């Protein structure tokens, strides 16, 4: 999972749909890395104690597929370390939904890449925060830049679509131009970025982490230039808006997207603490109904309003509130 402030912008809105169009499933909170900016507070030994059983996982998957959810992503934590990762991938792909895997890129062996390709994975999003080993390894604690680069080459060799996610910090913003070039060189089809979010691990490291506004201005100027430069070869997509502006937009135009946590609870959006259901005990239809109502709930709208004067409220995103 990335630390950028993307709030699923660009994804479809709810309108009168009978089910979400997209389920972003954080299949485990366990991770091999302990990144400075991790919005999920993931890391080694950080799996939730109540993560879903095998039976619950496949009950939920069956329901999602039976209800016709067309797009899913698996993220984490690090999804590829979940013992049922490939079984879950197979189930989704066999049922004909489009699946994206969001990974930190440390398990992209030739065998794993081939397996994902053969099973029918649509795209693999890799976190690549930097164009140098120094900045990448500083941010991705326990991570190794060269392993990720090798993994991307393996993805390219099996012709899996590669997407890159880049989270800006004070010490990697200057590398953004080179990072876009590197992504294209390694065969990426898309490059995504946005502002780093103040939550999770980033709350503890914010003082050393967050770019200044001047740095952000330069950062987005480079991204604009790179988007133009690569317009016919690679999609360079980024959100200049801060989190507050994105949430103010989402409040009136919720994306048709559910965030499914490793224990079956469902969040209305990753950047808010609100839980709208539990797929262990409720049907997707019930949860989807709750989701639509939740965006009008005054606890949700009030939380967003309070962010105007207290942007630090995002520090509490992991203290869930049931709506
Ligand atoms: S790779 Fe880093 S940012 Fe992603 S879940 Fe693991 S610790 Fe968090």
* Domain boundary assignment for the chain: 3-9+19-322
Give the Cα-Cα-Cα angle 142, 215, 213 (nearest 5 degrees): 110
| CA dihedral sign, ordered 188, 189, 194, 196 | negative
How confident is the prediction for the chain on average, in pLDDT? 93
State the alpha helices, DSSP H only, in 43-169.
Answer: 54-66, 85-94, 110-119, 133-139, 145-157
Residues 6+ apart with CB under 8 A from 306: 313
Pair 269, 276: CB distance under 8 Å: no
**Average confidence (pLDDT) over 166-175:** 95
**pLDDT over threshold 50, residue 46:** yes
**pLDDT over threshold 50, residue 5:** no
- Supply the pLDDT for residue 123: 98
Mutate to test the pocket of ligand 1, among 28, 36, 41, 42 (most ligand atoms within 8 A of CB): 42
In this prediction, what percent of the chain has a pLDDT beyond 90?
A: 81
**pLDDT over threshold 80, residue 11:** no
Residues with CB under 6 A from ligand 1: 1, 3, 31, 33-35, 38, 40, 42-43, 76-78, 104
- Supply the pLDDT for residue 199: 86
Reported as a single tens digit per residue, the pLDDT across 51-64 is 999 999 999 999 99
- What distance in Å separates the CA atoms of residue 127 and residue 129, rounded to the nearest whole number? 6
Reported as a single tens digit per residue, the pLDDT across 12-44 is 457 578 889 999 999 999 999 999 999 888 999
| Assigned superfamily of 3-9+19-322 | Aldolase class I (3.20.20.70)
- What distance in Å separates the CA atoms of residue 175 and residue 169, rounded to the nearest whole number? 10
DSSP at 110: H
Reported as a single tens digit per residue, the pLDDT across 268-307 is 998 899 999 999 999 999 999 999 999 999 999 999 999 9
**pLDDT over threshold 60, residue 2:** no
- Supply the pLDDT for residue 13: 55
Dihedral angle of Cα 289, 283, 98, 32, to the nearest 10 degrees: 110
What distance in angstroms lies between residue 142's CA and the mean position of ligand 1's atoms? 10
Confirm whether pTM is higher than 0.85. yes
Instruction: Tell how strand 321-322 and strand 235-238 pair up.
Output: unpaired
| CA dihedral sign, ordered 65, 55, 41, 174 | negative
Reported as a single tens digit per residue, the pLDDT across 71-110 is 999 999 999 999 999 999 999 999 999 999 999 999 999 9
**pLDDT over threshold 60, residue 179:** yes
**pLDDT over threshold 50, residue 236:** yes
What distance in angstroms lies between residue 38's CA and the mean position of ligand 1's atoms? 5
Cis status, amide bond into 77, omega within 30 of 0:
yes
Burial letters for 125-141: b for 16+ Cβ neighbours within 10 Å, e otherwise?
Answer: bbbbbbbeeebbebbbe
Reported as a single tens digit per residue, the pLDDT across 137-148 is 999 999 999 999
Ligand 1 atom with least separation from CA of 1: 4
Nearest CA to ligand 1 atom 2: 35
What distance in angstroms lies between residue 81's CA and the mean position of ligand 1's atoms? 12
Burial letters for 266-283: b for 16+ Cβ neighbours within 10 Å, e otherwise?
Answer: bbbbbbbbbbbbbbeebe
**Average confidence (pLDDT) over 192-214:** 90
- What distance in Å separates the CA atoms of residue 277 and residue 128, rounded to the nearest whole number? 33
What distance in angstroms lies between residue 76's CA and the mean position of ligand 1's atoms? 7
In this prediction, what percent of the chain has a pLDDT beyond 70?
A: 95
- Supply the pLDDT for residue 17: 80
Nearest CA to ligand 1 atom 1: 104
- Supply the pLDDT for residue 127: 96
**pLDDT over threshold 80, residue 168:** yes
**pLDDT over threshold 60, residue 1:** no
- The residue to which tokens 């993560």 are assigned: 51
């Amino acid at each position: 999972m990335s630390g950028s402030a993307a709030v699923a912008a660009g994804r479809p809105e709810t309108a009168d749909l009978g089910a979400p169009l997209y389920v972003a499933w954080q299949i485990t909170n366990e991770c091999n890395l302990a990144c400075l900016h991790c919005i999920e507070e993931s890391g080694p030994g950080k799996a939730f104690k109540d993560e879903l059983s095998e039976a619950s996982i496949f009950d939920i998957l069956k329901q999602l597929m039976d209800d016709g959810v067309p797009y899913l992503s698996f993220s984490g934590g690090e999804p590829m370390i979940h013992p049922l990762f490939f079984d879950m991938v197979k189930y989704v792909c066999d049922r004909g939904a489009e699946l994206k895997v969001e990974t930190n890129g440390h398990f992209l062996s030739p065998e794993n890449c081939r397996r994902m390709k053969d099973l029918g994975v649509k795209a693999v999003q890799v976190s690549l925060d930097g164009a140098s080993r120094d900045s990448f390894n500083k941010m991705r604690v326990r991570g190794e830049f060269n392993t990720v680069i090798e993994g991307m080459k393996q993805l390219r060799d099996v012709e899996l679509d590669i997407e890159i996610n880049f989270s800006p910090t004070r010490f990697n913003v200057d590398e953004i131009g080179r990072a876009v070039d590197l992504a294209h060189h390694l065969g990426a089809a898309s490059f995504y970025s946005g502002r780093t979010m103040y939550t999770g691990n980033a709350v503890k490291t914010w003082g050393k982490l967050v770019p200044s506004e001047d740095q952000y201005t330069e950062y987005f100027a480079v991204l604009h230039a790179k988007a133009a430069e690569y317009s016919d070869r690679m999609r360079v997509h980024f959100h200049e808006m801060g989190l507050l502006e994105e949430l103010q937009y989402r409040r009136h135009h919720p994306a048709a997207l559910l965030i499914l946590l490793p224990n079956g609870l469902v969040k209305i959006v990753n950047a808010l603490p609100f839980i709208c259901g539990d797929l262990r005990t409720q049907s997707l239809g019930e949860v989807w109904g709750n989701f639509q109502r939740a965006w009008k709930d005054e606890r949700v709208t009030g939380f967003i309003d309070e962010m105007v004067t207290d942007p630090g409220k995002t520090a509490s995103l992991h203290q869930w509130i049931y709506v």
